């Protein structure tokens, strides 16, 4: 069997995919080869997986990036909903809204009040145009009714350098990157972006709790198969992936990363994706996000 991962080795998607593939392979009695196909903002790997035979021997690890790419790119050689069959959502990776201590806000409500009092004067950093960090900020702007300036960087590392130095004021970024800086007092955590709190920062409220009802944004990971894969095969794969996610070592490993384990099944996962694609398409449209 083969699991196509559209990201390079060592990143969150690769870590999640490899961990699940190892457990799945053990339960099925088969080896699962990891096929890293990075490039094109995760589109190259998706195209390769979409063209694979629907026999159950090729799986694809998709992420929230693939749901947003639908509206970020004018022409894709695959369609996330047409060319793939959902198997299981694996995990949800939270982002955290953080502020530099020089910005005199302690809560999200205070941030919203300040942003409304000073439209266009606050800024937030991201790892680049169209990234989950960027779009999470744009969703916040739309739902909170505030005007903040997006400052894109070429990756998370340079964005963090300037944020910690106070060159930019805010950011939505992944929890594992931010926790050391939050604990060290270099950054102030205002809220986490998923629908529920993360165990790694249990005292930090969600954005929805903190003043923006209905807000939800996170990086999710899920397994798909090529469209046309037989339903009994999909059902068997979902069953075995569910067993893998419920093993104490895998669940403990994910929780230590701040990742919420999610064994969402095929039908529920399909419904979730159907909501994700238009949700982010609307954000992209309102924010006029363009990929160069």
CA angle 110, 106, 157 (to 5 degrees): 110
- Beta-carbon contacts of 203 under 8 Å, excluding residues fewer than 6 positions away, are none
pLDDT of residue 239: 95
pLDDT of residue 292: 58
Which CATH superfamily includes the segment(s) 2-92+218-287? Bordetella uptake gene, domain 1 (3.40.190.150)
Q: For the chain, what is the radius of gyration of the CA atoms?
A: 19
Which CATH number is 94-192 given? 3.40.190.10
CA angle 230, 18, 129 (to 5 degrees): 95
Q: How many residues does the chain have?
A: 292
Mean per-residue pLDDT over the chain, rounded: 94
User: What stretch of H or E contains 219?
Assistant: strand 218-226
Instruction: Return the DSSP state at 259.
Output: P
Residue 26, class by beta-carbon neighbours within 10 Å (0-12 exposed, 13-18 middle, 19+ buried)? Answer: middle
Nearest to 151 by CA among 81, 100, 117: 100
pLDDT tens sequence across 31-43: 999 999 999 999 9
pLDDT of residue 261: 86
- Cβ 220 vs Cβ 17: under 8 Å: no
Low pLDDT (below 50) residues in the chain: none
Which sequence spans correspond to the domains of the chain? 2-92+218-287, 94-192
pLDDT of residue 85: 97
- Beta-carbon contacts of 59 under 8 Å, excluding residues fewer than 6 positions away, are 1, 2, 3, 4, 32, 49, 87, 223, 224, 225, 237
pLDDT of residue 216: 95
At 166, phi and psi to the nearest 5?
85, 10
Q: One fold for both 2-92+218-287 and 94-192?
A: yes
From CA 271, how far away is CA 277, in angstroms rounded? 10
pLDDT tens sequence across 95-123: 999 999 999 999 999 999 999 999 999 99
From CA 98, how far away is CA 95, in angstroms rounded? 9
**3-state secondary structure (DSSP) of residue 215:** coil
pTM, rounded to two decimals? 0.90
pLDDT tens sequence across 162-179: 999 999 999 999 998 899
């Amino acid at each position: 069997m083969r699991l196509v991962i559209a990201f390079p080795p060592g990143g969150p998607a690769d870590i999640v995919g490899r961990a699940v593939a190892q457990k799945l392979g053990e339960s099925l009695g088969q080896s699962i080869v990891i096929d890293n196909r990075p490039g094109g903002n995760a589109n190259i790997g998706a195209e390769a997986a979409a063209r694979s035979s629907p026999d159950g021997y090729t799986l694809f690890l998709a992420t929230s990036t693939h749901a947003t790419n639908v509206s970020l790119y004018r022409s894709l050689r695959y369609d996330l909903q047409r060319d793939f069959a959902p198997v299981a959502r694996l995990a949800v990776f939270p982002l955290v809204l953080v502020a530099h201590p020089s910005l005199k806000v302690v809560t999200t409500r205070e941030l919203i009040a300040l942003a409304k009092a000073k439209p266009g004067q606050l800024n937030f950093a991201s790892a680049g145009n169209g990234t989950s960090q960027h779009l999470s900020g744009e969703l916040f702007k739309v739902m909170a009714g505030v005007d903040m300036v997006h400052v894109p960087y070429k990756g998370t590392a340079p964005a963090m350098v300037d944020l910690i130095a106070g060159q930019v004021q805010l950011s939505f970024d992944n929890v594992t990157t931010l926790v050391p800086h939050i604990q060290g007092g270099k950054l102030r955590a205002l809220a986490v972006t998923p629908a529920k709190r993360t165990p790694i920062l249990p005292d930090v409220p969600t954005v929805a709790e903190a003043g923006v009802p209905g807000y939800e944004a996170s990086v999710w990971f899920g397994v798909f198969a090529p469209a046309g894969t037989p339903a009994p095969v999909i059902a068997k794969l979902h069953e075995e992936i569910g067993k893998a996610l419920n093993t104490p070592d895998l669940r403990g490993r994910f929780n230590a990363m701040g990742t919420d384990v999610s064994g969402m099944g095929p039908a529920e996962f399909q419904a979730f994706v159907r909501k994700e694609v238009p949700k982010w398409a609307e954000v992209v449209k309102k924010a006029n996000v363009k990929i160069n």
